Amino acid sequence: MAAFSLDPSQTARCAELRALAEQRLRPLAEKGGADGHVNRPLVAELGRLGLLSRLFTSGALDLCLMRESLAHACTEAETALALQGLGAHPVHAYGTPAQRETWLPRVTGGTAVAAFALSEPGAGSDAAALALSAEPDGAHRWRLTGEKCWISNAPDADFYTVFARTTPGAGARGVTAFLVPADRAGLDGAPLDMLSPHPIGSLAFDAVPVTADDVLGEPDRGFQVAMTTLNLFRPSVGAFAVGMAQAALDATLAHTAAREAFGGRLKDLQTVAHQVAEMSLRTEAARLMVYAAAAAYDAGDPDVPRRAAMAKLLATETAQYVVDTAVQLHGARALRRGHLLEHLYREVRAPRIYEGASEVQRAIIAKELYATVESP
């Protein structure tokens, strides 16, 4: 990709994805599932369209293009796809042959729902502070005890990538990643009533048994599993945000070009035109940073943590601004339940928090910058 502009095949693929999202995925999203639960027909359709398999056969840039394109037309489809990738990527990257053979075909086929279980009531963005304990229970066996909270797809997922503390007091070095099927004894969950339209829940672990066969990667090396996954998905969270910002911008262009007010069209008011120009400027800047971060990931750039954090930070903050401005320019109609911007307004807030809040992204950026400066 030269200077972060898309080639004709990529542009055509994005247009195709937007059309698929509008024609085949949005109707399923609008039918919805039960409140607070996974829309399994939507996940299954993502599998039938071959989109879920691309999560594990494409690079970071292709993932970003998929997420941006789907988000523009159907945020529910975008989120369903992304959550499958987030929950199952550790299995793809660190799983044993048996783990991969058991779960990945079902994930890509849309018949099994995955979830990434990292956050806890007392350890949201501070992943190294997690307290879910993995108590030894014989050789290469543990019992998981504690809670996870704000877990997307919980409690409906068929399996969870769970991060637990195997070595107390060791910070990030004492965390292990486990693949835990939802039917494992002692595991229970409940949905949470959240602002975001997609399902989010809590998980309770009551001495849930796990063995060496459930470990993803190596014992006490689970933090690396988590960070590797997040470094891939953080730029694509930015792509999700860019897709929402573009949808809001497109709606605003159409509205201000047609809406008559004060003896003319809204677009003829300089204050309105300048706001729309600012929305476009910020959206394009965020898009370019997302593409740059994804390209750096695909190239194996050692600076990926900083670039990924910058992309997520800029894009999610930008989308919040663009959607909010779009609502303001539309007026009260945008606040009516069912309006595109009402939907985007609820969707756009959460990405500034999950997979590392904006404040965490700034901390990562600063840490990476100062790591290059020699101490006096």
Find tokens 């543990």 and name the residue.
142
- Tell me which of 60, 76, 109 is where a domain ends: 109
Residue 161 belongs to domain spanning: 114-220
The CATH number covering residue 102 comes to: 1.10.540.10
User: Are 314 and 328 within one domain?
Assistant: yes
Q: Nearest 5°: phi and psi at 84?
A: -60, -40
Q: Answer whether residue 375 is part of any domain.
A: no
Task: Please choose, from the candidates 218, 186, 191, 225, the residue with its C-alpha nearest in 3D space to the C-alpha of residue 92.
Answer: 225
Q: What residues in the chain have per-residue pLDDT under 50?
A: 1-2
**What would the 3-class secondary structure string for 9-49 be?**
HHHHHHHHHHHHHHHHHHHHHHHCCCCCCCCHHHHHHHHHC
Measured between its terminal Cα atoms, the distance across the chain in Å is 40
What Å distances lie between residue 319 and 72, 263, 290, 373, CA to CA?
A: 12, 31, 13, 32
Instruction: For 311-328, give the DSSP string.
Output: HHHHHHHHHHHHHHHHHH
User: Are 363 and 245 within one domain?
Assistant: yes
CA dihedral angle for residue 318, residue 323, residue 324, residue 329, rounded to 10 degrees = 130
CB-count exposure of residue 334 (10 Å: 0-12, 13-18, 19+): buried
The CATH number covering residue 145 comes to: 2.40.110.10
User: How many domains, the chain?
Assistant: 3
At CA 284, angle to CA 280 and CA 286, rounded to 5? 120
Distance in angstroms (rounded) separating the CA atoms of residues 254 and 326: 11
Distance in angstroms (rounded) separating the CA atoms of residues 295 and 301: 9
H/E run at residue 261: strand 260-261
Predicted local confidence at residue 1, as pLDDT: 45
User: Are 250 and 235 within one domain?
Assistant: yes
Q: Answer whether residue 376 is part of any domain.
A: no
Distance in angstroms (rounded) separating the CA atoms of residues 249 and 252: 5
User: Are 230 and 364 within one domain?
Assistant: yes
The region, left, alpha or beta by phi > 0 then psi within -120 to 50, assigned to residue 192 is beta
Q: Answer whether residue 105 is part of any domain.
A: yes
At CA 181, angle to CA 77 and CA 221, rounded to 5? 95
CA dihedral angle for residue 268, residue 329, residue 320, residue 30, rounded to 10 degrees = -120
- Tell me which of 220, 255, 279 is where a domain ends: 220
Q: What is the pLDDT of residues 170-210, one digit of tens each?
A: 877 899 999 999 999 999 999 998 877 788 999 999 999 99
For residue 233, the SS3 value is helix
Catalytic residue at 355?
Answer: yes
Predicted local confidence at residue 125, as pLDDT: 60
Active-site residue identified among 347, 355, 368, 374:
355
Contact (Cβ atoms closer than 8 angstroms) between residue 272 and residue 256:
yes
Distance in angstroms (rounded) separating the CA atoms of residues 197 and 79: 10
Q: Nearest 5°: phi and psi at 274?
A: -70, -35
